[in-house]
Structure 1
Amino acid sequence: MALPPNFLEELRARTPLPALIGRKTRVTKSGRQWKACCPFHGEKTPSFYIYDDHYHCFGCGAHGDAIAFVMQAEGASFPEAVERLAGEAGMEVPKATPEQARREARARDLHAVLEAAAEAFQRRLRLPEGRAGLDYLLRRGLSEETIRAFGLGWSGGGRGALAADLKPLGIEPRQLVEAGLMRGGEEGEPLTDLFFNRVMFPIRDRRGRMVSFGGRILGDGQPKYVNGPETSLFSKRRNLYGIDIARDAAFRNQPVVVAEGYMDVIALHQAGFPGAVAPLGTALTEEQLEELWRMTPSPVLCFDGDAAGTRAAARAAELALPLLSTERSLAFVTLPAGEDPDSITRKGGTNAFRALLEGRKPLSDVLYDMLAAQSPGTAPEARATLRHKLVAAAEAIPDKILGAEYRRLLLDRFFESGRRPAPQRFQPAARGEWRKGGRPAPPPLNLPRPEIDALHTQSERARCLLALTLAHPWLLPEVEEALLQLDLPEDGEAAQLRQGILAWHGVAEQLDPGALQAQLQSTTPEALAWALQCPGLRRLLSPEAQPQAVAKAWWHFFGFLRGQAALLEDRRAAEMAFATSGDAAAQRRLIRLTEALMAQQRGEMEDEEGESGAAH
């Protein structure tokens, strides 16, 4: 029996995770979280982190909530784990009613029908009749592994083919109608398949249960894509394609990316972005935003750079405003004209799309651009209209403090756009014009400007941050959590160093730079040498460097690596932590994050001693 969601939420809230997990392994405080040696695999260095409502092991990947922990640690079934935790929390598990039992049995039957249909579609894809569908998927760059992982299939061309396939399993046509796979005939006409001659995309809910299908026709037929109808299991407004996989990715701090369609999601997964999801044939809805925010505080919405993409971004921004809070925001990526995530990853690979994600815009920027486009021009009437719209947008945010911040940010940009450029004091003479003294002005220099390599810049910033950590490991108690949040290439020197530094910190008795570097020299000598060659930070890497200057520089580099949207979320979390605890460590983290955010918004990087940052 499925238990009421409210009951399960209260049960989780009444079960403190550190105390529960502390029965199996020793837990210690680490910033706002707790850490421990993982109880599910042997390790000497803690990589098991415990948060407010879930745990995650960065070693073996184990994660879940209080119920999942009891199931994993003691081999209990879900009902057994719930019964035990409810007893400890003083709660009574709700009893089943006959009506509820019938509803759940019917839902289980429909899930099973859909699973059987998915298997039938997958078999047909490998038959001669499905060859066109398989060839289409392979031409789109999908690997055999990806095709199997997403359960892609072929519906077949014969009417009634699916009913014939599933009849030996005891599945009746009325069940196929109820599951959204067949359409009921009118006035005695026979039932017909909803999908035929289409590539099939299984749709699952957030718990991984099959709820419907989408189908794509090959060739020029219309409609190109068809989704299953609304059923007792499936709602287009509430579901997101790929959400079952994206939930797991979000637990592992992967970005949650909203693309446009099935193939975009699958291509992004194959390119290394498992947090990709897509709406199901509709514009993004309020219910889908709620699902996204359950996974991450700042999902990234990808839209095409054409007029339709601009309208979609505007609708999403307007929809989100009344739902925003300090723990809920959005970021936006505008794709190049004529491109989509599928084409970008096929042409440029993982790095091409990652560069777009790193350049994502916060909601405030998109909101201003959208409203400014609606009221173009510099006439007083147009400017007044735009100002009214900006104020109204900020007032639509229910959190008054957050709304005031949006109002300040939007109006700052509004007033900046209305300022006249400062006049030049000295106008350069035109080419060939004679100056006093009888000499002509020199010709202007048109020197080429070198292109900025974004990936190289990020790599240099990571090198500077890690060099500071190596030279001053006394930073680690303050920055360990922040260091763990950074998205670093898994196969690069930066990620190797981070793993080695955090492993050493877990067992080190003294935070001595010599001991840390000696340990890394024995494990990752090439990565250590790479970090120690960091240019431009000689004074800050010295043992005599001022601790305040070192810490400020560390957080500045962290800000540029983390990105503005994520940094805003970090600061909001720090504000809440300081408001809750009021301790000095929380206040210090809030100050550091604020300074880093301000430096990034200025687009500059300076240390206390006048050295220019090496990673601009």
Structure 2
Amino acid sequence: MMSSGMIPETVIKEVLRHHDIVETVGRYVHLTKQGKYMKGLCPFHSEKTPSFTVTPDKQIFHCYGCGQGGDVIKFVGLMEGYSFPEAVRVMAENAGIAVTWTPQASDPTPMQRERDILLTAHELSAKFYHYLLNNTEAGRPAKEYLRSRGLTDKLIEQFMIGYAPNNWDVLFKFLTKREYDPALMERGGLLSPKSDGTGYVDRFRDRVMFPLWNREGKVIAFAGRIMGDGQPKYLNSPETVLFNKSKNLYHFHQARPDIRKTGQLVLFEGYMDVIKAWSAGVKNGVATMGTALTEEHVEIIRRNADEVVICYDGDNAGQAAILKTIPLLEKARVKQAVALLPKGMDPDEYITAKGTDAFVREVISQPVSAMKFRLIYSRKHHTMVEEEGRKNYVMEAVSMIAELESTIEREFYLKELAREFEVSLDTLKQDCHQIRMQLQKMRPAGDNNDNSWNNGMNEKRRTAGPPPVVPAYQKAERHLLLMMLQDAEVASAVYEKLGDAFVIEDHAALAAYLYAYYAQGNDPDVSRFIATLQDDRLERAASSILMMDDNSPFDLQLMDRYVRVIQKEQKLRFLEQRRDEWVRAERSGNNVLAAQIFSEINALERQLNAELDDRF
């Protein structure tokens, strides 16, 4: 049997069997055991009270907050941005399962074809630039420049560094000779149009070339560094269908294994910092690509690392950038620390001046907390030799410390201030408390206002009222589907009595898919069934149903009762529809039709009144 764009059924089963959902989810989410479930903070939306639930025996996940749910393939796809076939392929490769199927049965879209062509063009261009650096006379000055910066041949090879000659059309001729469309190459950022509109020229000229990769290790753009004093120092590829600088981190594909292994990510400002740090043994370093850290970057970091060490330049601009980066990471609840560099030095310069061992020992291995960095930064902006400057610093420091949620942390930093400036600890605590009270008054009513349903402060308020009333037919449909998902004979019996005539549209669709699943000879396997859906809404609905705690005995009598409740709701809805039609017939003056519909309404009402009133 084949499914899912020519992926063999046996492969999907093997992927599901090999990738345990608790182990896989645990790489992204900290899970704690609660009875037969594992729970943690949902990776798909902001929350402070765990509502993300994994069920090991059913191999599914479900979030009661945002509603996301499905099997392990769905989870990996959501976390990594993969389509279903992409997720299966990557997970199969990780499991050592041979990837022999055709990725897509349908023809690629124009956009997909354009992306594929641009990916091959970028890969070819990277190899071309790398060859020119290593094997031509024109590339010799660039090679000498890189060596003067401390880059060995091994590093040049590892990072595929190249050189773009000081000519107008070297890459243009190279690509057009291989029948690449210049207009497409311009849209991909490799070429630029001539000023007179008569053709194209190379975008990068006389620059050392750094390939930029996506998370799969495909070249998607370039950064060209000038070797002299000109501007800009770095020229990046423009935004294209391949390259979005706000969503990619430099060298992430190579750093990712070490990030996952250590739980720590080192965040640099520049490409050379990452490369030189790699030579020092810092294999978990990444950098942004010509932009400040964005929320998209933070989301990538949050999914892959438990802690971030920020290692920006020691100059004023670098230190100011750290102050902007800290709140972004704090908002995402990512643990962070700051590696301190001497004023005016960047990581590249520090390694060149003091060596790789000193960089790891004195900088990377001895970071300070985010609060400690804030205090150090604040201190630099006050004249500490004057009484007024010291007083202003202490007051500013107390205001910053007051924002800390941890009582222990507040006490720790207040004690440091008290000792250094010979101020009473009680006085500092009193001022700190007053500031916190003021902050509390200014804070909105909830502690998680973007997602008020999950506000920790509103927890009691939210549960104080009566639970929402769930209609009897909805309960009946969910209980029926729960049993149908776990028992093929129950599904067959429901098919005979009800078919897919469920009231709720998603329930009807799930029933139809389930009948087809069993008709193909499949045994009950909820994880495998969910993998066949490939519909986000239905996967959420199925996972929500499977999370129900239903230990009540199930027999044919109970099934018949559920079926009657659903059929009764269908009749009530049909009755309401006929009443609307009767009103319209009356208003239009069609007395004959109105009388006919009225007679049907009376018959339906008598039939419904004669039936037992099922309640739950």
Q: TM-score, normalised by structure 1?
A: 0.50
Contact 1:317 1:367 in 2 (8 A): no
User: Displacement of 1:384 after TM fit?
Assistant: 5.8
Partner residue, 1:292: 301
Partner residue, 1:332: 338
Per-residue CA deviation, residues 147-181 of structure 1 (Å, 9 max, x unaligned), is 11211111111112111012222112112202111
Q: Distance in 2 between matches of 1:308 and 1:358?
A: 23
- Please state if 1:235 is matched with 2:244: yes
Partner residue, 2:357: 351
Per the alignment, in what secondary structure is the counterpart of residue 277 of structure 2? Answer: helix
Pick closer, same or farther for the CA change 1:262–1:19 going to 2, 3 Å: closer
Per-residue CA deviation, residues 325-377 of structure 1 (Å, 9 max, x unaligned), is xxx22111011234322233334433212212221112232244456667885
Per the alignment, in what secondary structure is the counterpart of residue 278 of structure 1? Answer: strand
Contact 2:215 2:252 in 1 (8 A): yes
Per the alignment, in what secondary structure is the counterpart of residue 299 of structure 1? Answer: strand
Contact 1:255 1:273 in 2 (8 A): no
Choose from 329, 345, 348 the match for 1:320: 329
Q: Distance in 1 between matches of 2:4 and 2:375?
A: 45
Q: Distance in 2 between matches of 1:101 and 1:131?
A: 43
Pick closer, same or farther for the CA change 1:195–1:70 going to 2, 3 Å: closer
User: Displacement of 1:383 after TM fit?
Assistant: 5.9
Partner residue, 2:417: 417
Partner residue, 2:93: 71
User: Displacement of 1:66 after TM fit?
Assistant: 8.7
Per the alignment, in what secondary structure is the counterpart of residue 139 of structure 2? Answer: helix
Partner residue, 1:222: 231
Pick closer, same or farther for the CA change 1:283–1:339 going to 2, 3 Å: same
- Give 1:193-208 correspondences, 5 Å limit: 193-208=202-217
Q: Distance in 2 between matches of 1:372 and 1:96?
A: 63
The code of the aligned residue for 2:244 comes to S
Per-residue CA deviation, residues 499-558 of structure 1 (Å, 9 max, x unaligned), is xxxxxxxxxxxxxxxxxxxxxxxxxxxxxxxxxxxxxxxxxxxxxxxxxxxxxxxxxxxx
- Please state if 1:364 is matched with 2:367: no
Q: Distance in 1 between matches of 2:292 and 2:284?
A: 19
Per-residue CA deviation, residues 26-48 of structure 1 (Å, 9 max, x unaligned), is xxxxx99xxxxxxxxxxxxxxxx
User: Displacement of 1:188 after TM fit?
Assistant: 2.6
Q: Distance in 1 between matches of 2:152 and 2:280?
A: 11
Q: Distance in 2 between matches of 1:193 and 1:314?
A: 38
Contact 1:214 1:227 in 2 (8 A): yes
Pick closer, same or farther for the CA change 1:320–1:130 going to 2, 3 Å: same
Q: Distance in 1 between matches of 2:303 and 2:13?
A: 18
Partner residue, 1:130: 139
User: Displacement of 1:416 after TM fit?
Assistant: 5.0
User: Displacement of 1:106 after TM fit?
Assistant: 1.9
Pick closer, same or farther for the CA change 1:16–1:116 going to 2, 3 Å: closer
User: Displacement of 1:193 after TM fit?
Assistant: 1.9
Pick closer, same or farther for the CA change 1:285–1:72 going to 2, 3 Å: closer
User: Displacement of 1:305 after TM fit?
Assistant: 2.7
Partner residue, 1:613: none
Q: Distance in 2 between matches of 1:417 and 1:358?
A: 25
- By relative contact order (CA 8 Å, sep 6+), the higher-ranking structure is 2
Per-residue CA deviation, residues 290-313 of structure 1 (Å, 9 max, x unaligned), is 222222111211123332222111
Per the alignment, in what secondary structure is the counterpart of residue 256 of structure 1? Answer: strand
Q: Distance in 2 between matches of 1:104 and 1:410?
A: 54
- Give 1:147-158 correspondences, 5 Å limit: 147-158=156-167
Contact 1:152 1:202 in 2 (8 A): yes
Per the alignment, in what secondary structure is the counterpart of residue 262 of structure 2? Answer: coil
Choose from 287, 298, 310 the match for 1:301: 310
Pick closer, same or farther for the CA change 1:124–1:16 going to 2, 3 Å: closer
Q: Distance in 1 between matches of 2:290 and 2:369?
A: 25
Contact 1:375 1:386 in 2 (8 A): no
Per the alignment, in what secondary structure is the counterpart of residue 223 of structure 1? Answer: coil
The code of the aligned residue for 1:115 comes to E
Pick closer, same or farther for the CA change 1:14–1:388 going to 2, 3 Å: farther
Per the alignment, in what secondary structure is the counterpart of residue 330 of structure 1? Answer: strand
Contact 1:67 1:78 in 2 (8 A): no
Q: Distance in 1 between matches of 2:271 and 2:145?
A: 14
Per the alignment, in what secondary structure is the counterpart of residue 319 of structure 2? Answer: helix
Q: Distance in 2 between matches of 1:381 and 1:348?
A: 36
Contact 2:209 2:224 in 1 (8 A): yes
The code of the aligned residue for 1:300 comes to V
Contact 2:263 2:305 in 1 (8 A): no
- Please state if 1:109 is matched with 2:113: no
User: Displacement of 1:259 after TM fit?
Assistant: 1.8
Q: Distance in 2 between matches of 1:408 and 1:313?
A: 24
Aligned length, in residue pairs: 351
Q: Distance in 1 between matches of 2:221 and 2:141?
A: 23
Q: Distance in 2 between matches of 1:185 and 1:222?
A: 20
User: Displacement of 1:140 after TM fit?
Assistant: 1.5
Q: Distance in 2 between matches of 1:152 and 1:286?
A: 29
Contact 1:251 1:295 in 2 (8 A): yes
- Give 1:159-558 correspondences, 5 Å limit: 159-185=168-194, 188-253=197-262, 255-324=264-333, 328-355=334-361, 356-370=363-377, 387-391=398-402, 393-394=403-404, 404-405=405-406, 409-410=409-410, 413-414=413-414, 417-418=417-418, 421=422
The code of the aligned residue for 1:225 comes to Y
Q: Distance in 2 between matches of 1:129 and 1:219?
A: 16
Q: Distance in 1 between matches of 2:270 and 2:100?
A: 34
Q: Distance in 1 between matches of 2:166 and 2:95?
A: 49
Determine which structure has more spread, i.e. the larger CA radius of gyration: 2
Give the CA RMSD over aligned residues. 3.9
Per the alignment, in what secondary structure is the counterpart of residue 142 of structure 1? Answer: coil
Per the alignment, in what secondary structure is the counterpart of residue 339 of structure 2? Answer: strand
User: Displacement of 1:129 after TM fit?
Assistant: 0.9
Per-residue CA deviation, residues 73-125 of structure 1 (Å, 9 max, x unaligned), is 55321869x9xxxxxxxxxxxx8877x73322221111111011111111211
Per-residue CA deviation, residues 212-254 of structure 1 (Å, 9 max, x unaligned), is 0000111121111111111111112221211111112223327
The code of the aligned residue for 1:130 comes to G
- Please state if 1:142 is matched with 2:151: yes
Q: Distance in 2 between matches of 1:293 and 1:235?
A: 19
Q: Distance in 1 between matches of 2:105 and 2:398?
A: 56
Per-residue CA deviation, residues 122-150 of structure 1 (Å, 9 max, x unaligned), is 12112111111111111212111211121
Q: Distance in 1 between matches of 2:393 and 2:353?
A: 42
